[in-house]
Amino acid sequence: MTVGFVYDDIYLEHDTGQHPENSDRLRNIMSVLEESEVKAQLIAIPSREITIEELARVHSKAHISNIKARSESGGGWLDVDTIVSPDSYQAALCAAGGVMQAVEAVMEGEVTTAFALVRPPGHHATWDWAMGFCLFNNIAVAARNALEKYSLERILIADFDVHHGNGTQDTFYSNPHVLYFSTHQFPFYPGSGRAEEIGRDEGKGFTLNVPLPAGCGDIEYLRAYNEILVPRALAFNPQLILVSAGYDAHWKDTIASMQLTTSGYAQLTYILKALADETCDGKLVLVLEGGYHPEALPYSVRASFEVLLGETQTYDSLGAPDTPHQTPNIDGILSQVKKMHNIEQVSSMHLGS
């Protein structure tokens, strides 16, 4: 078993100042990985700039040109949430290219699994709009490339960021070759991700949204994964699994109101790894999205890496929430999603604790 990672100092040059999505996120991650000796067990995968032709499979030429022009003219705010600096365009090209490199390393057998530690993040970026801290949709570009380059017919994208990945959903909403699964706080930014959003035309039934109420923690997330994702993914039988790995549902992260623990993230990663082992010879790539707490993010990323490395015990220095929360009842939403997608019962492949 070999685990690769993508990281490049160019990602630090996307200078957002005191914005929640800032370069300290990656500095903290790399520091924890080095101090824990996890990094020493990983295989480095070099980043590269994505080409305009590759990027244009997911984004309009006008959108690409706008990001380039705004960046090279000195930067500024694209909307109330999203900012660019003079080097942001270059960083964003290398972020998208880095994810493609991770996917290609897995598909070509250079590593078994990989984690792309990139920024700016991507899952909110749409065909012609940068939003939610995202400039280009890194995971969507990599998925589109994999479908074409490797003649794949089935890719699963699982998204456990606390925010719904509206850009990724939009990209593949009519595409039956990509199964998009998202758990996210709802109602919440960006406002999409209702259970009724299931895809259209040939892609109908290939978008699975599990909108969760505020306050959900490990138990609720594991139920959503075991009762919804596992049986649907086994039926879909993906040839590659990609993950929008956002760690902002952690109980320490104040950007949202969820209660996941570092151990909870490890269990989600374990489920995804087990699905990959079962369906596609372990071909699994995680892509960094959100996560803004200076301790919760790096330690949760470390826990995910430990699972990928085959560790049976992961490190959780933060533990459970300081004050116990009232567990939301998610029976109704799970039943609704199961009915809409004809998921009648929990799969015998029940994973996590």
Among candidate residues 14, 59, 63, 124, the one labeled active-site is: 124
According to DSSP, the residues that pair with 6 across neighbouring strands are: 45, 116
The answer to whether residue 293 is catalytic is no
* Token pair recorded at residue 352: 């996590």
Angle ∠(28,8,3) on CA atoms, nearest 5: 80
Tokens of 98: 């880095």
Neighbours of 195 (CB within 10 A): 17
User: DSSP labels for 277-293?
Assistant: HHHSTT-EEEEE-----
**Residue whose C-alpha is closest to residue 214's, from 173, 163, 264:** 163
Q: 3-state DSSP call for residue 242?
A: strand
User: Which residues 6+ apart lie within 8 Å of 60 measured at CB?
Assistant: 127, 128
For 352, left (φ over 0), alpha (ψ -120 to 50), or beta? left
58 contacts 172 by C-beta, under 8 angstroms: no
Which residues are known to be catalytic? 124
